[in-house]
Chains A and B, each alone.
Chain A
Amino acid sequence: MTDFSVIGKPTLAKRSHEIVTGQAHFCPDIHLPGSLVGKLLYPKFPCARITRLDVRSARKLPGVVTILTAADIPGENSYLYTLPADQPLLISDMVRYQGDMLAAVAAETEETAQAALEAIKVEYEPLAGVYDVIEAMQSGARQVWPDRGNIFDHLIINHGEIDAGFKQADIIIENTYYTPLVEHAFLETEGAVAYLDENGAMVVYSSCQAPHRDRIQIARALGMPENKVRVITPHIGGAFGGKDEAHVQIHAALLAQASGRPVRLIRSREESILTHVKRHPVIIRYRSGLTRDGKLIAVHAEAIGDTGPYLNAGRDVMNFVAATLTGPYFVPNARLEAYTVFTNNPICGAMRGYGIPQASFACEAQMDALARAIGMDPLEIRMLNGLETGMQVPTGVTIREGRGMKVCLQEAAHLSGWKEHTSEIHHPAPHLRRGWGMASIWFSIGMGRNIPDHATATLEMTLDGSLILQTGAADMGQGAHTVLAQIAAEAIGVKFDSVKVIVPDTDLTFDAGPSVASRQTFISGNAVLKAAQPIHEALLQTASDLSGLPVEILQLREGMVLAEGELLSLTMSELAIKAMEQNRRLHADGFYAMEYPEQLPPGSYPYAPSVFTFGTQVAQVLVDIETGQVTLEKLVAVQDAGKVINPGGARGQVEGGVIMGLGYALMEELLVDQGTTQNSNFGTYLIPTAKDIPGLMVKIMEIPEPYAPFGAKGLGEPPLTPTAPAILNAVVDAIGIPLFRIPLTPERILTAIETHALMNLQNGS
């Protein structure tokens, strides 16, 4: 067991001082002299033809400096996250959802900008939109686009022989599951500050997850060469996928370009909830075939995702749904389908989990349904079917490291006292029912095969022995910069505090890819290791020269030089100076791309991921059967991280994921009526408060992942995924009634209880 000096040790987060003193600057805090206020004009209807858009009188208002419409965009009027590009930055003829943008305004004050918006003359011909995803799929349905059908994509993953599989099944269970439209609710809304510097370069501070992708998009929209655009991430107040695709930063840059002045564009909370991408609501029909002794033999599951009118991450998210629908289990025969469907509902895109929360919800609720059907303990059915190293999954991939599945499952069962739940405390009062539920998940790390998935990191040691790490990986609070600094410190052999992180700045840091798919620890971490290696070697060589001792017995640790464990009186600074004198390089960059050494058999899913993390959560709930209110009393979360780089950060990711999952399970749902969101503020869209969470018990397992830096894989998204199904399964256990839809609002629970009672009455039971 290696004794690390920095990896796995509790360190403060990089930039923690700025955060706790309030000095951390987020986009709304960046005040540049001469700044204009930017605002965007949103439509009055979710689906309409624009018959008139006249900004002339608005342009004349005193204090209004620039108003842009689609015609004014010098370059490409398009978001470019996904191709084919179909979402305009500014629309001119058709409104396709409530968050489309018609015009961009830059004015001297907030008030003037608002007045300008109100002075823009728009006339609409409201059109009947497509608001029901099932209806949208029918032939003869109204079409969202004139030139393409509502069903944009239909992915089918086939594995084994599905028909034969079902023939062998002793029991077949089919259920349909529903997940809601969900809001990211990051505390800092979308924002950007853009200005032209003295060299005519466009500098954009962007609250974003993908600074280099922002750079491309800004350059293309502005018609500027990419090397004249500079994107910098200041502190980012949460993102959770909602700031992966660009939001307002391109518009801010367009306004800065047109006006020649700095522009700050920040969405209000209401605008944010109405416009930015959401988590896909998904309907999953799940058909499982089981043998009498509880083995899964066949799964045919069909997922339908309402993606709104623009593609964005729609197909990619639905592909992840399909690829993970069978869960962390061995399923020899499967047919997994995903539909990406256009409607005029709010646009959906990346949100923490990227389709896997929806898939996990259905899979895990179904596992409990199967367990109930054959009278098996939910723990036992999962142990019986759980994946192990070497097993093949429906995408064609063979599991490289699968111990985590059963290790986490057993650990969660143990910590929660799963086998000790007695019946006495099931009914603590006449109107109360207690229940326990579990959920196991697998979560893929990285984008998947055949998709660009790489990162570069740069390290430089200075002459006093301190380290500079340049990374293009955005840190939205998930702790990437801290983790990468720890990896750098460990790999070189210096103290964590002597590492300075240069945060994403496209003029200074190379592309590390977007901070998504829980990938930065793995991919940027490996890039850091690659950058560190030549520097470390150079330092060791120099130490050998200075000490006369062979390199093999030398070690660098926390800024000290050791020979067979004995401290030498050499400082890092002496090594650095000597190396420089000897023309040895002490700076390097490292490039790492996710590796897929194994070839998949023909017919495999081409984008299949190969790195998985596993986790299990157990929830204990109390249900008030007269009001339907659910209280989460306890939750045990066991998550495999491969290796914990930072204990405080890792625990935070798990707790944070669980709390978001709790919201998903119990209270979060955007209510959309004919394409218009009804609950667009924090008073009506509810996320968990401190009073909503019970005691959380978190345990992070460390089963090293091959190819991962120190064996560490991602933690940003996985802990979110078991929570909602664990809570649903616990509620079902409490009330003895199957449930298929989240959020489990009190009214839904009560309706289920009453409907069930009514059915019993009618059946004479």
Chain B
Amino acid sequence: MFHANYVAPSSLEELLSVLHHYGGEAKIIAGGTDLIPQMRLGKLAPRILVDPQRLPSHGITETSQSIGLGACLTHTQVINSTLMQRVYPALVDACHQIGGPPVRNRGTLMGNLANASPAADSALPLLVYDAQVVTASLDGEQVIPLREFYTGPGQTRLAVDEFICEIRVPKFSDQTKAVFLKLGNRKAMAIAVASIAVCLSLDELGQIYQARIALGSVAPTPVRAYHAEAILLSNGLNDEIIFAAANAAQQAASPISDLRASAGYRSKMVSVLTRRALQMISRGLSQDDANV
């Protein structure tokens, strides 16, 4: 059991004032799927829980350039959105592999990012879709590229009085393909042992003009594999390039050994997952086809 006060502000200004007033002793509680277990185990003891669910809901908004994922958007809402299925299928895949339906119905994208687990499934597609985190505080709005958002294990650039009010994802051309793959010790309800998202844009000749690779559970934070991306750029997806990129991605990882797997195993899996993700894109396959 834990003790905290609770408030559900009905305006952003009110929410930001509370955050500011309490300094680091306030915590946003959206879905509560990470926060409540941590409080129960005594890992966190905020004085007040601030619930954003009464804020005017923005849901999913669309402009010509980007799509905005509103503050309390749950994983289930992402999965059920035909827009998301069409435009960001890798994010839909990732959300679908988080926990089970009861967790997905409550857990929010925003909360998943803010919790900053290196194993966060939704963070990887968002990274390769080049998402930005739009935050608000009493000092105003900030736009932080997700690739700069994580500063350490469980740590982000969010200040204690800052609130994620939107995750903004750019739109891509039809030539953009993305894939999410995850390995766990059980077929469902498993924290990733190693995971990956890859997003590639290919021109009419099959040359890669945009490449992003994000790795999960193999570093203190979700990380981009920049060298692997560089190898892919301006090349076609052939076996040699795929192999080289997989090796480079493996170098970008710095996994640890823990209950779930050893560092050595995780490292090898980065190479395997990178290769498979790239092969899937190359063959135009879906996740189910790939038998992973």
Residues of chain A from 614 to 672 with CB closer than 8 A to chain B in the complex: 622, 624, 626-629, 631, 667, 671
Which residue of chain B lies nearest to A429 when distances are taken between CB atoms in the complex?
B291
Interface centre among A111, A624, A684, A747 (most CB of B within 10 A): A747
- CB nearest neighbor in A for B268: A750
Does A389 lie at the interface of the complex (its beta carbon under 8 Å from any beta carbon of B)?
A: no
Considering the complex, which residues of chain B in the window 230-285 have a beta carbon less than 8 Å from any beta carbon of chain A? 259-262, 265, 268-269, 272
* A132: Cβ under 8 A from any B Cβ: no
Stretch at the interface among A56-64, A416-424, A601-609, A688-696: A688-696
User: In the complex, what residues of A have CB within 8 A of residue B185's CB?
Assistant: 667, 686, 745-746
Chain A residues with CB under 8 A of B265: 628, 746-747, 750-751
Question: Does A464 sit within 8 A of B, measured CB to CB?
Answer: no
CB distance from A507 to the nearest CB of B (A): 36
CA of A688 to CA of B186 in the docked complex: distance in angstroms? 7
Q: Are B291 and A432 in contact (CB under 8 A)?
A: yes
| A624-B291, A627-B272 known; A691-B259 Cβ under 8 A | no
CB distance B189 to A689 under 8 Å? yes
When distances are taken between beta carbons in the complex, the residues of chain A under 8 Å from B187 are: 631, 689, 691-692
Q: Which residue of A lies closest to B275 (CB)?
A: A626
Interface centre among A432, A679, A686 (most CB of B within 10 A): A686
Q: How far is the CB of B135 from chain A (nearest CB, A)?
A: 29
Interface presence of B188 (CB below 8 A): yes
Q: Which of B186, B189, B190, B262 contacts A747 (CB 8 A)?
A: B262
Q: What are the residues of chain A within 8 A of B205 when measuring CB–CB?
A: none
Given contacts A624-B291, A624-B292, contact A692 B186 (CB under 8 A): yes
Closest to B290 in A: A429
A683-B183 in contact (CB<8A): no
A110 to B2, CA, bound (A): 11
Report the bound CA distance from A111 to B3 in whole Å: 10
Distance in Å: Cβ of B119 to nearest Cβ of chain A: 11
Contact indicator B291/A691 (Cβ below 8 Å): no
Contact with A along B190-201 (1 / 0, CB 8 A): 110100000000
CB within 8 Å of B: which A484-524 residues: none
Note all chain A residues with C-beta closer than 8 A to B189. 689
Shortest CB-to-CB span from B192 to chain A, Å, is: 12
A745 to B184, CA, bound (A): 10
In the complex the two chains form, is B259's CB within 8 Å of A678's CB?
yes
C-alpha spacing A684/B261, complex, angstroms: 11
0 or 1 for each of B1-38: is its CB under 8 Å from A? (1 = yes): 10000000000000000000000000000000000000
B1: chain A residues within 8 A (beta carbon): 110-111, 114
Q: Are B186 and A627 in contact (CB under 8 A)?
A: no
Q: Measured between alpha carbons, how far is A746 from B100 in the docked complex, in Å?
A: 22
Q: B191: nearest residue on chain A (CB-CB)?
A: A683
Residue interface bits B35-67, CB-to-A below 8 A is 1, else 0: 000000000000000000000000000000000
Q: Are A689 and B269 in contact, CB atoms less than 8 angstroms apart? A: no
Q: Bound state CA distance, A629 and B183, in angstroms?
A: 8
Pair B188/A692 contact, Cβ less than 8 Å = yes
Contacts of A692 in B (CB 8 A): 186-188
Interface size, chain A (Cβ < 8 Å)? 31
Cα distance, A692 to B1, chains bound together (Å): 32
List chain B residues, Cβ under 8 A from A114. Answer: 1
CB-CB under 8 A from A626, the residues of chain B are 272
Q: Tell whether, in the assembled complex, residue A627 and residue B259 are in contact, meaning their CB atoms are under 8 Å apart.
A: no
Name the prevailing secondary structure of the B interface residues.
Answer: loop
Residues of A within 8 A of B183 (CB): 627, 629, 746
Query: Could you tell me if B188 and A689 are in contact, using CB atoms closer than 8 angstroms?
Result: yes
- Determine if A671 and B259 form an interchain contact, defined as CB atoms under 8 angstroms apart: yes
Minimum CB–CB distance from A317 to chain B (whole Å) comes to: 27
Please, how many angstroms separate the alpha-carbon atoms of A432 and B272 in the complex? 13
Residues on the B chain within 8 Å of A627, using CB: 183, 269, 272, 292
Q: Which residue of B lies closest to A682 (CB)?
A: B189
Residues of chain B lying within 8 A (CB to CB) of residue A751: 265
A689 and B186 contact, CB distance less than 8 A: yes
CB distance from A747 to the nearest CB of B (A): 4
* Chain B residues positioned under 8 Å from A110 (CB to CB): 1
Please state if A679 and B259 are interface contacts (CB–CB under 8 Å): yes
Taken together as a complex, chains A and B put the C-alpha atoms of A750 and B261 apart, in Å, by 12
Q: Chain A residues with Cβ under 8 A from B259's Cβ? A: 671, 678-679, 684
In Å, the complex CA distance between A114 and B100 comes to 31
Query: Bound complex: CA of A750 vs CA of B193, how far in Å?
Result: 14
Q: Shortest beta-carbon distance, B41 to chain A, in Å? A: 8
The residue on B at minimum CB distance from A631 is B187
Within the complex, what minimum Cβ distance (angstroms) separates A111 from chain B?
6
Least Cβ distance of A630 to chain B in Å?
A: 10
Nearest chain B CB to A669 CB, angstrom units: 10
Give the docked Cα–Cα distance between A751 and B262 (Å).
11
**In the complex, A134→B275 CA distance in Å?**
43
- Of chain B, the residue at the smallest CB distance from A684 is B259
Shortest CB distance A138–B (Å): 29
Neighbouring B residues of A746 by C-beta, 8 Å: 183, 185, 193, 261, 265
- The CA of A114 and the CA of B268, in the complex, are separated in Å by 45
Establish whether residues A747 and B188, one from each chain, have CB atoms under 8 Å apart when the complex forms: no
Distance from B59 Cβ to chain A, minimum over Cβ atoms (Å): 29
Contact, CB under 8 Å: A667 / B186: yes
Given contacts A111-B1, A624-B291, A747-B262, contact A686 B186 (CB under 8 A): yes
Residues on B with C-beta less than 8 A from A679 are 259
* B111 CB to nearest A CB, Å: 17
A42 to B262, CA, bound (A): 30
Q: Bound complex: CA of A147 vs CA of B231, how far in Å?
A: 68
Which chain B positions have C-beta within 8 A of A629? 183
User: Chain A nearest CB: distance from B40 CB in Å?
Assistant: 9
Q: How far is the CA of A679 from the CA of B292 in the complex (A)?
A: 26
> What B residues does A671 contact at CB under 8 A?
259
Report which of A428, A429, A624, A686 forms a contact with B190, defined as CB distance below 8 A: A686
Q: How far is the CA of A667 from the CA of B259 in the complex (A)?
A: 12
CA distance A431 to B275 in the complex (A): 12
Chain B residues with CB under 8 Å of A111's CB are 1
Chain A residues closer than 8 Å to B291, beta-carbon distance: 428-429, 431-432, 622, 624
Q: Across the two chains, which residue of chain A brings its CB closest to B258? A: A678
Roughly how many angstroms separate A689 CA and B186 CA in the complex, as a whole number?
Answer: 8
- Please measure, in the bound complex, the distance between the C-alpha atom of A53 and the C-alpha atom of B272, giving whole angstroms: 54
**Which parts of A81-123 form the interface with B (CB within 8 Å)?**
110-111, 114
User: Which residues of chain B are near A747, meaning CB under 8 Å?
Assistant: 261-262, 265
Give every chain B residue within 8 A of A678 (Cβ-Cβ).
259
Q: How far is the CA of A629 from the CA of B187 in the complex (A)?
A: 10
Chain A 722-759, CB within 8 Å of chain B: the 1/0 string?
A: 00000000000000000000000111001100000000
Which chain B residues in 85-100 approach chain A with CB under 8 Å? 100
Proximity string of chain A (423-436) to chain B, C-beta cutoff 8 Å, 1 when within and 0 when not: 00000110110000
Query: Closest Cβ of chain B: how far from A756's Cβ, in Å?
Result: 16
Which of chain B's residues 159-195 have a Cβ closer than 8 Å to chain A?
183, 185-191, 193
What's the Cα separation between A627 and B270 when bound, in Å?
Answer: 10
**From B269, which residue of chain A is reached at the shortest CB distance?**
A627
Distance (whole angstroms) from the CB of B282 to the closest CB of chain A:
15
Q: How far is the CA of A628 from the CA of B272 in the complex (A)?
A: 11
* Chain A nearest CB, measured from B291 CB (Å): 6
A526-546: CB near B (< 8 Å → 1, else 0) gives 000000000000000000000
Q: Nearest CB to that of A268 among chain B residues?
A: B40
Complex-state Cα separation, A207 to B183, whole angstroms: 38
Task: Give the distance in Å from the alpha carbon of A114 to the alpha carbon of B2 in the complex.
Answer: 11
Contacts A686-B185, A745-B185 given; 4 further ones with Cβ under 8 A?
A: A111-B1, A627-B269, A692-B188, A747-B262
Q: Could you name 8 residue pairs across A and B whose Cβ atoms are closer than 8 Å? A: A431-B291, A627-B269, A684-B260, A689-B188, A691-B188, A745-B185, A746-B185, A750-B268
Can you list the 3 inter-chain pairs with the closest CB atoms, starting with the nearest?
A691-B188, A691-B187, A747-B265
